[in-house]
């Protein structure tokens, strides 16, 4: 279960949260009753209200087959088509797999199509040589430039190396339209559907995220039902609802002139959650010249680079920490007789304890330096808690968007760079 600590944020509010209560209730109503802008894209809630266990079973069966045959599972996608899966896999799999070729049970999950680096594609194709490869290309339209371009290279490479290449390629796409559906019909690729009422940044609990997460060996049923528990906990209008509190505090601070929200974690394997959060909030709120700018940091590493700015730079920052009560870091500091590093005062303490004190000191110092901060606590880093965490932020961003008066579920600004890029590339109109 999650808990939100707001002790270091509330003192910065110029008005009590109760002043926002009528607006919060209206935003909640729009979310829960599908009465707000973009309400036709609230399918990310519906899929939790009516779980499809048959789909979960099918994804698990497909993943089991891939796990038994593949050395590498290559996911091709950009934005919401890969960030959620990458975040969960990083959080719930070992830092250093015992066998990177999958001989111990889990294929290596790699990503492509999230940028257009020629050097990356060249090195990726070299790395895949001699390995058993399965591919999952994820795109509603099938024509988004980055993943479509990557898939051209990978599709050619697969066809040259595997007689059963078509069996090894899985498409996750629109239920019926788009380029990938045509390939599915012509070549017999296995297909999973992206629900039309679920936007990319909300799609991690659809086959978009569930298949690669399952291939990585994560229990997707626990992940999914952790989110189901989240929808039960946060879909109410009580004043102590932490998702509503989080949305309200950050909105009020924005109105007071704060412009940047920094997502921070002291556990490296949770940093991918920050990258997913960054897209979720950036695309949902950053429109009509409003919204907090979302940025991610990794502590304590970045305390030795950005720490000076966080403590004493311009005071337009607020901070959200994601922490785990149990981070499985119970290894104890050894004792050295010479004590040349002067660390014997830590002898016998665990790295978890040391890391926790670093967090506590940072949160306290940043508050004193004028940075309001909140902490979202996971009881442990596990599939069910990650599922609940995913829903927490999805629900909060819907509330935040409506509090700002924007549609939280569209992203019209994303098209601007594409139009300029396609013009420069000479794309036919």
Give the DSSP per-residue string, 55-102: HHHHHHHHHHHHHHH-SEEEEE--GGGTHHHHHHHHHHS-SS-S-TTS
Is the pLDDT at 218 greater than 90? The verdict is: yes
283 counts as catalytic = yes
263 has a pLDDT exceeding 50: yes
pLDDT band at 99 (very low <50, low <70, confident <90, very high): low
| pLDDT over threshold 50, residue 395 | yes
Fold agreement between 2-35+224-404 and 43-218 = yes
Mean pLDDT across 289-314: 97
Q: How far is CA 267 from the centre of its chain?
A: 15
Tell which wins on pLDDT, 274 or 345: 274
- Give the active site residue among 90, 283, 319, 394: 283
Please state which CATH class domain 43-218 belongs to.
alpha beta
Q: Give the per-residue pLDDT at 96.
A: 87
**Residue 295: is its pLDDT beyond 50?**
yes
The pLDDT of residue 424: 80
Active site residue 304: yes
As a whole-number percent, the residues of the chain with pLDDT over 70 amount to 98
Mean pLDDT for the stretch of residues 79-100 = 89
Of 95, 94, 41, 97, give the one whose Cα is nearest residue 71.
Answer: 97
Q: What percent of the chain has pLDDT over 90?
A: 90
- pLDDT score for 429: 79
* C-alpha span between 325 and 240 (Å, rounded): 21
Mean pLDDT within 246-267: 98
pLDDT at 391 over 90: yes
Q: What is the mean pLDDT of residues 386-403?
A: 98
Mean pLDDT, residues 126-136: 98
Q: How would residue 101 be classed by pLDDT, with cut points 50, 70 and 90?
A: very low
| C-alpha distances in Å from residue 33, one per residue of 239, 354, 393, 402 | 19, 45, 18, 13
Q: Quick one: pLDDT at residue 102? A: 43
pLDDT band at residue 308 under the 50/70/90 scheme:
very high
pLDDT score, position 98? 67
Overall average pLDDT of the 399-417 stretch: 92
Look at residue 56 in the predicted model and tell me its pLDDT. 98
What are the C-alpha distances in Å from 74 to residues 34, 183, 275? 36, 18, 20
What CATH fold (topology level) applies to the domain 2-35+224-404?
A: Rossmann fold (3.40.50)
pLDDT at 105: 67
**pLDDT tens, position by position, 156-212:** 999 999 999 999 999 999 999 999 999 999 999 999 999 999 999 999 999 999 999
Q: If you average pLDDT over every residue of the chain, what do you get?
A: 95
Dihedral sign, Cα of residue 120, residue 96, residue 61, residue 228 = negative
- From the number of C-beta atoms within 10 Å of its C-beta (0-12, 13-18, 19+), residue 337 rates as exposed
User: What integer pLDDT is reported at residue 279 of this predicted model?
Assistant: 98
170 three-class SS: strand
Residue 233 has pLDDT above 80, yes or no: yes
Helices (H) and strands (E) in the chain, counts: 15, 10
Burial of 377 (0-12, 13-18, 19+ CB in 10 A): middle
Residue 422 has a pLDDT of 82
Residue 148 clears pLDDT 60, i.e. is over it: yes
User: What does the domain layout of the chain look like in residue ranges?
Assistant: 2-35+224-404, 43-218
- The answer, as to whether pTM is greater than 0.75, is yes
Answer for the pair 92, 378: CB distance below 8 angstroms, yes or no: no
Catalytic residue among 357, 364, 418, 427: 418
Active site residue 140: no
List 304, 342, 415, 429, catalytic entry: 304
Residue pLDDT, tens place only, 6-27: 999 999 999 999 999 999 999 9
Q: Are 27 and 403 in contact (CB under 8 A)?
A: yes
Residue 15: the pLDDT is 94
Q: Are 202 and 195 in contact (CB under 8 A)?
A: no
């Amino acid at each position: 279960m999650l808990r939100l600590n707001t002790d270091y944020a509330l003192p910065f509010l110029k008005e009590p949260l109760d002043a926002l209560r009528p607006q919060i209730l209206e935003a909640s109503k729009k979310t829960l009753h599908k009465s707000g802008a973009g309400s036709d894209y609230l399918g990310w809630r519906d899929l939790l209200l009516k779980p499809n266990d048959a789909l979960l079973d099918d994804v698990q069966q497909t993943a089991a087959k891939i796990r038994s045959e593949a050395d590498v599972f290559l996911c091709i996608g950009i934005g919401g088509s890969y960030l959620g899966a990458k975040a969960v896999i990083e959080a719930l799999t070992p830092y250093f797999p015992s066998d990177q070729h999958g001989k111990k049970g889990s294929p290596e999950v790699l990503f492509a199509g999230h940028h257009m680096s020629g050097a990356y594609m060249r090195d990726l194709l070299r790395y895949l040589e001699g390995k058993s490869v399965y591919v999952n290309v994820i795109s509603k339209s099938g024509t988004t430039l980055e993943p479509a371009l990557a898939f051209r290279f990978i599709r050619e490479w697969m066809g040259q190396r595997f007689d059963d290449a078509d069996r090894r390629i899985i498409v996750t796409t629109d239920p019926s339209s788009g380029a990938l559906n045509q390939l599915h019909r012509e070549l017999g690729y296995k297909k999973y559907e992206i629900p039309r009422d679920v936007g990319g940044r909300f799609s991690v609990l659809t086959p978009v995220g569930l298949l690669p997460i399952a291939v990585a060996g994560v229990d997707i049923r626990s992940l999914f039902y952790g989110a189901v528990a989240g929808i039960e906990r946060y879909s109410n209008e009580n004043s102590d609802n932490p998702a509503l509190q989080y949305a309200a505090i950050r909105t009020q601070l924005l109105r007071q002139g704060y412009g940047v929200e920094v997502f921070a974690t002291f556990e490296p394997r949770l940093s991918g959650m920050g990258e997913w959060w960054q897209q979720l909030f950036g695309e949902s709120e950053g429109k009509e010249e409003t919204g907090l700018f979302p940025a991610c940091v990794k502590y304590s590493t970045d305390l030795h680079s950005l720490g000076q700015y966080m403590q004493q730079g311009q005071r337009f920052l607020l901070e959200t920490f994601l922490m785990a009560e149990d981070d499985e870091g119970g290894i104890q500091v050894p004792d050295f007789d010479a004590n040349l590093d002067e660390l014997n005062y830590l002898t016998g303490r665990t790295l978890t304890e040391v890391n926790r004190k670093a967090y506590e000191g940072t949160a306290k110092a940043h508050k004193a330096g004028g940075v309001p901060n909140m902490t979202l606590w996971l009881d442990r880093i596990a599939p069910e808690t990650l599922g609940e965490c995913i829903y927490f932020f999805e629900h909060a961003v819907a509330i935040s968007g409506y509090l700002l008066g924007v549609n939280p579920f569209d992203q019209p600004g994303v098209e601007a760079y594409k139009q300029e890029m396609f013009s420069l590339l000479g794309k036919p109109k």
